[in-house]
C-alpha cells in the first residue's frame, strides 16, 4: 500500500475525515484530466494507481467521463469520488473537497462536457452522492510533467482513497 508523504500527512487527515462524512455505500473513483498536460493529469494518475488494487471501482476516464457511464453503473456506486486538477486560487498541490453545486467557481477546462454538470446528472441518475477531490494545478503545458507539489498531492490523495476504498467496498 502507498504511504502518505510526511509533508501531507496532517493535510490529508482532514480530507479523510471529510470524505468519511459524505460517503454512503460503495465508493467508485473517477480520475479526470489529461496526462499530456502536466498537472492536469493528476486525477488520471491517482485513478491509475487505485485501479491496480480496485480495477472495478477506480477508472481513469481522461477527458471524457461520459464514455464510462456503463462501467460506472455496473459498479453500483453509493458515492462517486471524482479526482481532477483545478484552479481554485490555491498553492500547487493544495487539495479541496468540492460538491457538484460548488464546482462553478473552479477553473476545470480540458473536458468535453462541464464536469459539475456531468457529476450532478450522473449522481441524480444513479441515485448516489458525488464529490470532487480538486488538486490545485499550476502548469498545464502540453508535454509537461506534473509539478513537485502536485506529485506530492497525487501520492497523498492516492493514499487516502486507498483507505476509503478498503473501508467502503459495498
> How many structural domains are present in the chain?
1
pLDDT in the model for residue 94: 92
22 belongs to a structural domain: yes
Residues 6 or more apart whose CB falls under 8 angstroms from that of 33 comprise 40, 41, 42, 43, 44, 62, 63, 84, 85, 110
Answer whether 79's CB lies under 8 Å from 19's CB. Answer: no
pLDDT in the model for residue 170: 57
pLDDT in the model for residue 10: 46
pLDDT in the model for residue 2: 39
Answer whether 60's CB lies under 8 Å from 32's CB. Answer: no
96 belongs to a structural domain: yes
92 belongs to a structural domain: yes
1 belongs to a structural domain: no
Give the torsion sign (CA, 104, 106, 107, 109). negative
Answer whether 157's CB lies under 8 Å from 83's CB. Answer: yes
| pLDDT tens, per residue, the chain with 170 residues | 334 444 445 455 688 888 888 999 999 999 999 999 999 999 999 999 999 999 999 999 999 999 999 999 999 999 999 999 998 888 999 999 987 777 765 555 555 457 888 898 999 999 999 999 999 999 999 999 999 999 999 999 999 999 999 998 75
14 belongs to a structural domain: yes
Range of the domain at 112: 6-167
pTM of the model: 0.89
pLDDT in the model for residue 85: 94
94 belongs to a structural domain: yes
The CATH number that applies at residue 140 is 3.40.50.1450
84 belongs to a structural domain: yes
Amino acid at each position: 500500500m502507498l504511504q502518505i508523504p510526511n509533508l501531507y500527512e496532517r493535510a490529508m487527515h482532514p480530507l479523510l475525515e471529510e470524505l468519511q462524512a459524505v460517503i454512503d455505500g460503495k465508493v467508485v473513483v473517477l480520475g479526470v484530466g489529461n496526462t499530456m498536460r502536466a498537472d492536469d493529469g493528476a486525477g488520471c494518475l491517482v485513478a491509475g494507481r487505485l485501479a491496480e488494487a480496485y480495477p472495478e471501482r477506480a477508472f481513469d476516464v481522461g477527458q471524457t467521463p461520459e464514455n464510462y457511464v456503463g462501467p460506472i453503473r455496473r459498479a453500483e456506486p453509493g458515492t462517486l469520488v471524482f479526482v481532477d486538477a483545478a484552479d481554485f486560487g490555491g498553492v500547487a498541490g493544495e487539495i479541496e473537497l468540492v460538491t457538484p453545486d460548488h464546482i462553478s467557481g473552479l477553473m476545470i477546462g480540458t473536458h468535453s462536457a462541464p464536469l459539475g454538470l456531468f457529476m450532478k446528472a450522473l449522481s441524480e441518475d444513479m441515485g448516489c452522492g458525488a464529490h470532487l477531490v480538486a488538486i490545485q494545478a499550476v502548469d498545464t503545458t502540453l508535454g509537461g510533467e506534473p509539478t513537485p507539489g502536485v506529485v506530492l498531492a497525487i501520492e497523498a490523495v492516492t493514499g487516502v482513497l486507498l483507505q476509503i476504498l478498503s473501508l467502503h467496498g459495498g
